[in-house]
Chain A
Amino acid sequence: MSEMQLNEKNVLYRPLFGPQGWWLLGLSALVVLVLIPIANLVLPQDSVFYVSAYWVTLIGKILCYAIVAMAMDLIWGYCGILSLGHGLFFALGGYGMGMYLMRQIGHEGQYRADLPDFMVFLDWKAFPWQWWNTDHFGWALLLVVAVPGIVAFVFGYFAFRSRIKGVYFSIITQALTFAAMLLFFRNETGFGGNNGFTDFKRILGFSITTPETRISLFVITALILILTLLIGRFVVTSKFGRVLAAIRDAEQRVMFCGYNTLHYKLFIWTLSAVICGVAGALYVTQVGIINPGEMSPANSIEIAIWVAVGGRGTLVGAIVGAGVVNGAKSFFTQAFPEYWLYVLGLLFISVTLFMPQGIVGLINQWRKPNQES
């Protein structure tokens, strides 16, 4: 499985981990963590630099997607495993947090009942077992991390053990998320069926719609994004990460060298799923809705294109890609909704044909001659 064309020397280190990279990271962190909150909270509404709630939510959403994209890059870019089921882990994290947020609504639903509206609607008398203990924030956090982690671990163990790789693995992950979507569409599953969860009121007692809560969630998301980047950097630059890259480029040789590739793949796969789950939880608090549509195969494939556009095997590329593609998506779906699928489709085609290393690859190409001269 050596379809990755990323065999340049030291490609792991170049884009992010030089001194310029650190500067860039610090600068972006400054913008996201300090300037945007100030622009939203402190500046008056008629100022040129005022950032409205709409923009905060949009950027917050894109930051969540960037986390997902990095999770994808960890397994695809560094380990050569293309997952078409990452939407499932994202949604599982989202549902874990969503359950807590639903419990926080309390008696303020349409029916003023003890149970969430959709359960009243279905004429249920008590919470089903999945909802046990979900009124505790800590338990919700545990669910957000543990459920995607366990699902990924079990699935990954069986898949990697029987050495399913490449396209086979991709198709099976797609089937997995498809099956889960069908399951969550059913009312009997206990997660609100088609409509999923929405109309949240509070988180940890704070109203979820105030600017202060929104900015806090935004800052938390940005911090977790940076944390993910650092964790990812630590993993891929360690010896462990070198083995992963070796597995990507020539799995059989790595096995003949005496490594048990199952452990490596399983660890990075599970880590990636957990990161996705966290991103999903952050997404729900900011966007305010989660439904089974998040598990549709199309959504999961889109994650792959974020990474491909940004540049695989670079981590920052994932962030760039998620930002560019989703920025374009917001623009097109508002300005020219009928053209967005053309753009997305052509993006898939042109990136794979002409830009196998993505935007980051292009920047590298452009910088290389400069360095040599």
Chain B
Amino acid sequence: MHSKLIFYIVVLLSGLLKPLPVLAFDRAAFESVVLAEGDERFKALDTLVAEADNQTPVLLKALLEGELQRAGKQIIWVHEGRNIDPLTQAPLSSELPDKEDVVVNNRLRGALESALAALKLVSTDHKTRLAAAKELVVSAEEGMKPIVKKALAKETDATIKALLESILATMELKSTEVPLRLQAVQVLGQSSNSNAKTALLAALEVESDEGVKQAIKTSLKQVETRLVWGQRLGLVFAGLSLGSILLLAALGLAITYGLMGVINMAHGELIMIGSYSTFVVQNLFRHIPAFFDWYLLFAIPVSFIVSALVGMLLERGVIRWLYGRPLETLLATWGISLVLMQTVRTFFGAQNVQVENPSFMSGGIVVMSNVVLPWNRIMIVIFAIAVLLAVGWTLTRTRLGLFVRAVTQNRAMASCVGVPTAKVDTLAFGLGSGIAGLAGCALSQIGNVGPDLGQSFIVDSFMVVVLGGVGQLAGTVYAALGLGFANKLLESWSGAVIAKIVVLVFIIMFIQKRPQGLFALKGRSVES
């Protein structure tokens, strides 16, 4: 414990005293890295890394970035516009004869980069160490063994330790001693990393010892099982994510088409309007950078309201006159969708616009080395659930919901007992459109926002509603999730296009069997 504590103090202090040259620095090694030719440079680099101190990364970085020059044996560091000696940092005369750039070829560049990564392994910052370890998993080189060992000895964090162990094991696979190799193979067997698999496969090719060969095979199997589970997990999440997107896109449709029976081909464009509303709110928030991350919070109600207003306007202006004529409604709303698309093109241009994720939604949770769950997708799953609950609550617990259901079941009777049916129609349509706006807000966080955004969802969201059955929220939920999973599963087998075709064909066949969808309404309202 003591030694560790002292080490940290030393590191901290030396961080504070940066400008002072540290005596332990291997001057000869550094000079041959900079000045020598061929393999000698790499050997010297390994020595330098193995004996690294605080100054090493600074100088190696200078070399990598082309800040070092030479004049004969003298190395010059052009630092912040001044010529200084890299080791003593004493100023040098600016007029040196036959000054030339130090040549860093691609091989040395690569070596320097991974050396720098290796040096980060001994950083005091936990995040830097983790990032460095991850980088090295891919690019570790034989020469870094000492520093990795050194880092491993000091490491306390379990995640980083495991990573370092597998890096070291990858290196030791090439060891000449059988027990070392055997141990390395066993360590790699515990890994869940695709690099471990590659390393093991490569080792299997060249392995001569029968015992080690057997061990490699066992380890390989373990790693593969773990990788497969990772893939499955990723697939399930992708399905869930697509399902929730479809759910968001289709929920509004479940109200306007499912409950009200209005076939709205402009639904996709209402989604697009939601996305563009988010874009506008984002641009407004750019003027107050301190609160930029909070723009999404405002964009949610704004996109709901904008789309809802547009929807209500459409209902009052066009759709109201076409009730009871579904085919005409289909054509008229298609016309509306064309007009809306062109309007957006006129105002925002035909190109896609940039909607940035707030900082808390970028990145993701690393579940396994080959499974990363991005935050924005997780948020959308949560958002979809929230919207679903809100819609369910509105329909079953509020006065508006009661009216909507009453009008759906028996318009004439509802009107007789005093329900203002025309107003309810407008409000219900506004609600459905507003939900489309919410879907647009969510979609802006994961995909491109352009005038054609809605077009790509219209077939999919109608499929969800048709499959789920008219007049049912539950059906919509199951259908959306089912289609999401089916799409992603098939995609992993056969590619995206075939998956889509298979799903469409399946729906067409399914409709043959159950024309009313998964959850058919029973009773009087069936044949109306």
Contacts and interface: CB of A to CB of B under 8 A. Distances in A.
Given A162-B513, A338-B346, A341-B338, A3 B326 contact: yes
A175 B459 contact: yes
Where chain B touches its partner, the secondary structure class is: helix
A201 B324 CA distance: 51
Nearest to B463: A175
A205 B477 CA distance: 59
B512 interface: yes
Interface stretch (B133-141, B195-203, B327-335, B441-449): B327-335
Contacts of A129: none
A346 B343 CA distance: 12
A297 B330 CA distance: 13
A298 B507 CA distance: 21
A243 B324 CA distance: 23
Given A167-B327, A347-B335, A352-B328, A178 B512 contact: no
A345 B511 contact: no
Contact of B322 (A175, A305, A338, A353): A353
B131 interface: no
Contacts of B511: 162, 164, 168, 172
In the complex, which of the residues B321, B458, B504 has the most CB atoms of chain A within 10 Å of its own CB atom?
B504
Interface string B506-528: 01110111010000000000000
A162 B512 contact: yes
B24 to A, nearest CB: 61
Interface in B73-132: none
A209 interface: no
Contacts of A195: none
A86 to B, nearest CB: 14
A170 B327 contact: yes
B515 A163 contact: yes
A186 B513 CA distance: 30
B335 A185 contact: no
Contacts of A50: none
Interface of A is mostly: helix
B497 A348 contact: no
B328 A3 contact: yes
A3 B513 CA distance: 26
Nearest to A342: B342
B246 interface: no
B332 A178 contact: no
A58 interface: no
Contacts of A182: 497, 500-501
Contacts of A168: 466, 511, 515
A325 B332 CA distance: 16
Interface in A142-192: 155, 158-159, 161-164, 166-168, 170-172, 174-176, 178-179, 182-183, 185-186
Interface in A334-351: 338, 341-342, 344-349, 351
A344 B332 CA distance: 11
A178 B326 contact: no
B508 A176 contact: yes
A217 interface: no
Contacts of B331: 301, 304-305, 308, 348, 351-352
Interface in B446-468: 455, 458-459, 462-463, 466
A310 to B, nearest CB: 14
Interface string A290-322: 000000011001001100100000000000000
B386 interface: no
A155 B505 CA distance: 11
A82 interface: yes
Contact of A183 (B337, B501, B507, B513): B501
B345 interface: yes
Contacts of B346: 338
Contacts of B332: 348-349, 352-353
A249 to B, nearest CB: 14
Interface residues of A, number: 43
A167 B326 contact: yes
Contacts of A308: 331
What is the size category of the interface that chain B forms with chain A? 35 or more
A370 B331 CA distance: 33
A346 B339 contact: yes
Contacts of B515: 162-164, 168
Nearest to A173: B508
Contact of A172 (B342, B501, B508): B508
A356 interface: yes
B325 interface: yes
Given A345-B336, A348-B334, A297 B497 contact: no
B345 A166 contact: no
A260 B193 CA distance: 64
Contacts of A344: 335, 338
Max count, chain B CB within 10 A of own CB: residue among A166, A178, A186, A345 = A345
A82 B327 contact: yes
A62 B337 CA distance: 25
A345 B337 contact: yes
Contacts of A183: 497, 501
A285 to B, nearest CB: 29
B23 to A, nearest CB: 65
B46 to A, nearest CB: 47
A90 B349 CA distance: 33
Given A166-B326, A178-B504, A185 B318 contact: no
A301 B318 contact: no
24 contacts: A3-B325, A3-B326, A3-B328, A158-B512, A159-B512, A162-B515, A164-B511, A164-B515, A166-B326, A167-B263, A170-B330, A171-B462, A172-B507, A172-B511, A175-B459, A179-B504, A338-B342, A338-B346, A341-B342, A342-B342, A345-B339, A351-B331, A352-B332, A352-B335
Given A175-B462, A356-B328, 13 more contacts: A3-B326, A161-B512, A167-B326, A167-B330, A171-B462, A172-B507, A175-B459, A175-B504, A301-B334, A346-B335, A348-B332, A348-B336, A353-B318
Interface of B: 263, 318, 321-322, 324-332, 334-339, 341-342, 345-346, 455, 458-459, 462-463, 466, 497, 500-501, 504-505, 507-509, 511-513, 515
